[in-house]
Amino acid sequence: MALPLQVQAEIVGREPAGAYHRLVLRAPGIAARVEPGHFVAVAIGGVDSAMLLRRAFSIHRADPAAETIDVVFAEAGRGTRELARLRVGDSVNVVAPLGTPFPLPGEPVSAVMVAGGYGSAPMFALAERIVADGGSVAFVLGAATAERLYGVDQAQAITEDVVVTTDDGSEGVRGFVTGPLPEVLTAVEADVVYACGPMGMLRAVTEVASAHDARVFTAVEESMACGVGVCMTCVLPVVGDDGVSRFVRSCVDGPCFDGTKVRWDDAGTIPADIEGAAAMGAH
């Protein structure tokens, strides 16, 4: 496992991307360490900023030759609004690569990539790796509206098997990604599903994939205050290989998990049967 680096990264590219922003950061030494599913923690506002916590973003692309990494983000609060104001030539302090990336099959497989909104950001590099290893891919990309889709053109450059959904029907099929997903899984004889998006979507995708006997790996979107496993604010209840449920840290043990191991219904709670529940209740 490649250790993360902390570097001062120069912004060398920025552009709007529908409802989102895309930044290209020159971060020496980091790109060569990145695998699909890794994330980067970005310090906002400089050393004198009152915003002490870094913001975590999935790494969209990594180019070792150019020593750049790309991130895609939405303006959702003070930190991301500040980030959106930055210009080419500005710099930010970053730590990357962080987290546990998606597991790669190691053999040719039929894979389906499912994503909501800009949750698709890490999926394209993953799909390219699977294709390079002799596998095939299909995409099911969804969002609330057409403007909030991300990367449909990138998906279409990789494969002809791309299905788009929007909640309001402004592009593609009206409804959620889980609507056309069963048909896609059957059509491509899927071996594995990779998903990234809101927790409710990941739960539903896991159920559909499991019903079709496909393995499913999910990249969760949990708030990560520290990004390095210290603060414990991003814990999820996950069933271990020994059958015991434990809280695990999304930022270190994840963000990519076997979807069938995550206790989706219990996220945000302290289940009575979780290891250490009695001690937690005592405090």
Please tell me whether the peptide bond between 271 and the residue prior to it is cis, using omega within 30 degrees of 0: no
Q: Are residues 38 and 86 in the same domain?
A: yes
Has 196 been labeled as part of a binding site?
A: no
Among 66, 98, 130, residue at a domain's last position:
98
Average pLDDT over residues 197-201: 93
Q: Are residues 76 and 163 in the same domain?
A: no
Which of these ranges, 6-10, 153-157, 230-234, has the smallest mean pLDDT? 230-234
Q: Are residues 68 and 42 in the same domain?
A: yes
Look at residue 15 and tell me whether its pLDDT is greater than 90.
yes
> Of 103, 121, 114, which Cα lies nearest the Cα of 56?
121
Assess if residue 182 is contained within a domain: yes
Has 256 been labeled as part of a binding site?
A: no
Look at residue 46 and tell me whether its pLDDT is greater than 70.
no
Assess if residue 227 is contained within a domain: no
Assess if residue 264 is contained within a domain: yes
Question: Which amino acid would we find at residue 158?
Answer: I
Assess if residue 230 is contained within a domain: no
Domain of 143, CATH number, reads 3.40.50.80
**Per-residue confidence (pLDDT) for residue 113, from 0 to 100:** 98
Q: Are residues 117 and 90 in the same domain?
A: no
CB atoms within 10 A of CB 178: 19
Has 223 been labeled as part of a binding site?
A: no
Q: Are residues 64 and 130 in the same domain?
A: no
pLDDT in tens, 55-67: 899 999 999 999 9
Sheet with strand 256-258: strands edge to edge: 173-174, 162-166, 136-143, 110-116, 192-196, 215-219, 256-258
What total number of domains does the chain contain?
Answer: 3
Q: Are residues 176 and 242 in the same domain?
A: no
Distance CA 54, CA 39 (A): 12
Domain of 25, CATH number, reads 2.40.30.10
Which of these ranges, 93-102, 136-145, 193-202, 233-242, has the smallest mean pLDDT? 233-242
Distance CA 197, CA 162 (A): 17
Has 206 been labeled as part of a binding site?
A: no
Has 100 been labeled as part of a binding site?
A: no
pLDDT in tens, 19-35: 999 999 999 999 999 99
**Per-residue confidence (pLDDT) for residue 2, from 0 to 100:** 74
Assess if residue 20 is contained within a domain: yes
Domain with 27 in it: 5-98
Among 219, 246, 268, residue at a domain's last position:
219
Has 55 been labeled as part of a binding site?
A: yes
> What is the CB-side half-sphere exposure of residue 265 using CA atoms within 13 A?
2
Among 98, 125, 158, residue at a domain's last position:
98
Has 56 been labeled as part of a binding site?
A: yes
Look at residue 283 and tell me whether its pLDDT is greater than 50.
no
Burial of 185 from C-beta contacts in 10 A (0-12 / 13-18 / 19+): buried
Assess if residue 228 is contained within a domain: no
